[in-house]
Amino acid sequence: MTQTLEFTGERFTPECVREIWYEHIHRYAFAATLVRGRQVLDAACGEGYGSAYLATVAQTVCAIDISAQAIAHARERYQAKNLEFQVADCCSLPFPDDNFDCVVSFETLEHLEDQESLLKEFRRVLAPDGFLIISSPDKAVYTDRHQNENEFHVKELYRDELDALLSGYFPHRQFMKQKLMFHSVIWPDQDEPGVTFQHSSETGITEQQSPSQDAMYFIVLCAASEGDMPSLRSGSWFFDDDDESVYAHYHHEIRKNMEAGAVLESMGAELEQLRAQLNQQVSDSRQSTPWWRRWFPNARANR
């Protein structure tokens, strides 16, 4: 059985939980809808989970990372005929010009100071009609608003800075936005063509025409005849309120639990220190007490 790669905070691993899992998995699920049948470079692939998923739909996937440890792990854990892992520097790619139809690079840009070299290399190895899918946190939200401090982020960008940087190499850009939200979903009781939901399970990520979870409630429209029924959209998504109350409560509870864990860890360390001090005092006391006093505590010394 392949050992899991240790999570240090620098790169995501599939064993992570909560929002970080949704954010990272969803990016690759989204990218997979765009790279079917293409030759793909997954730059800064990390643990390799995303490269392996892209390989289920792409013609070929070449996945690179500067970490030899990560690549060794990926080669052992993920194997497919159209999937290759290499140790390489994203700012100095070992590939000829016009070599790939698509470059995928998620959460890489902010880890580098020399971002120009990264994009220059991406543009070089892409075919003239190729495209780049890249992600980066919005500094205004990730850092300024939520006060996240990621020690592995070297140079975060605001939206206008990111757009200006990309424009030097890719004249055409379409920004998409990503955020984990709590929401309510209303969907048809019967599957409808064209409606898809992406779902992750032990067998991988699949597209379905309805959520895999059972609904908690039924909402039923009724009329005397079919012609009297109102036309329905394929589904309805109700997202967070302005205060993001559910998400705020979730983060509050997570932070509270993390703080409580830190307090317990500190108390545990303090308890161990006190135990060590007590054991040392007992040991010192035994060494300074005459042997006959330990055997005959009520005896008096001869004068």
- Residue 295 pLDDT: 61
Reduced to 3 states, what is the DSSP secondary structure of residue 96?
Answer: coil
State the Cα–Cα distance between residues 139 and 163, nearest whole angstrom.
Answer: 13
Instruction: Spell out a b/e string for 132-148, using b for 16 or more CB atoms within 10 Å of the CB, else e.
Output: bbbbbbbbeebbeeeee
Within-domain flag for 226: no
Confirm whether 234 is domain-assigned.
Answer: no
Residues 51 and 144 placed together within one structural domain of the fold: yes
Condensed to tens digits (0 to 9), the pLDDT of residues 100-132 reads: 999 999 989 999 999 999 999 999 999 999 999
Statement to judge: residues 163 and 272 lie in one domain: no
Is residue 204 pLDDT above 80, yes or no? Answer: no
Section 147-160 average pLDDT: 88
Give the number of domains in the chain: 2
Q: Do 156 and 29 fall into the same domain?
A: yes
Alpha carbons 265 and 277: distance in angstroms, whole number: 18
Q: Classify residue 39 as exposed, middle or buried by CB count within 10 Å of its CB (0-12, 13-18, 19+).
A: middle
Tell me the pLDDT tens digit for each residue of 84-96.
999 999 999 999 9
pLDDT digits (tens, 9 = 90+) for 218-227: 777 765 677 8
Q: Where is average pLDDT lowest: 103-117, 195-209, 258-272?
A: 195-209
Per DSSP, 70 falls in state: H
300 domain residue, yes or no: no
> Which pLDDT score, from 0 to 100, does residue 8 have?
57
Query: Higher model confidence: residue 242 or residue 265?
Result: 265
Q: Residue 8: inside a domain, yes or no?
A: no
Mean predicted lDDT score pLDDT of the chain: 84
Same domain? For 162 and 44 the reply is yes
Specify if 224 maps to a domain: no
Looking at residue 14, what is its pLDDT? 60
- Domain boundary (149, 167, 185) is at 167
pLDDT for position 289: 64
Sign of the CA dihedral running 121, 126, 130, 136: negative
The band of 245, judged by pLDDT with boundaries at 50, 70 and 90, is confident
Instruction: Tell me what percent of the residues of the chain surpass a pLDDT of 70.
Output: 84
Cα distances (angstroms) measured from residue 213 to each of 26, 198, 199, 293: 18, 12, 10, 73
Task: Locate 169 and state its tokens.
Answer: 């190499």
Q: Which of 110, 135, 167 is the last residue of a domain?
A: 167
* Across 2-16, 63-77, 119-133, 191-205, least confident range: 2-16
pLDDT surpasses 90 at 63 = yes
Could you tell me what percent of the chain has a pLDDT over 90? 44
> Backbone phi, then psi, for 63, in 5-degree steps?
-115, 130
Q: What is the pLDDT of residue 181?
A: 75
Distance between start and end Cα atoms, the chain: 74
Burial class (CB in 10 A: 0-12, 13-18, 19+), 197: middle
Q: Are 119 and 166 in contact (CB under 8 A)?
A: yes
User: Is residue 272 located within the same domain as residue 155?
Assistant: no
For 87, the domain range is 19-167
| Structural domain contains residue 240 | no
Assign residue 55 the CATH number of its domain.
Answer: 3.40.50.150
- 148 with 250, same domain: the answer is no
pLDDT band at 208 (very low <50, low <70, confident <90, very high): confident
Is residue 251, in this structure, part of any structural domain at all?
Answer: yes
DSSP 4: P
Q: Decide if 195 is inside a domain.
A: no
Are residues 153 and 262 both part of a single domain?
Answer: no
Q: Compute CA distances 43 → 66, 225, 263, whole Å.
A: 9, 57, 39
**Domain-terminating residue out of 146, 167, 188:** 167
State the pLDDT at residue 214.
Answer: 73
Residues 161, 272: one domain?
no
Instruction: Indicate the pLDDT class of residue 82, thresholds 50, 70 and 90.
Output: very high
At 207, which amino acid appears? E
Q: Is the pLDDT assigned to residue 178 strictly greater than 70?
A: yes
**43 and 158 in one domain?**
yes
Q: Which two tokens stand for residue 39?
A: 């030759």
Q: Which residues contact 293 (CB under 8 A, 6 or more apart)?
A: 299
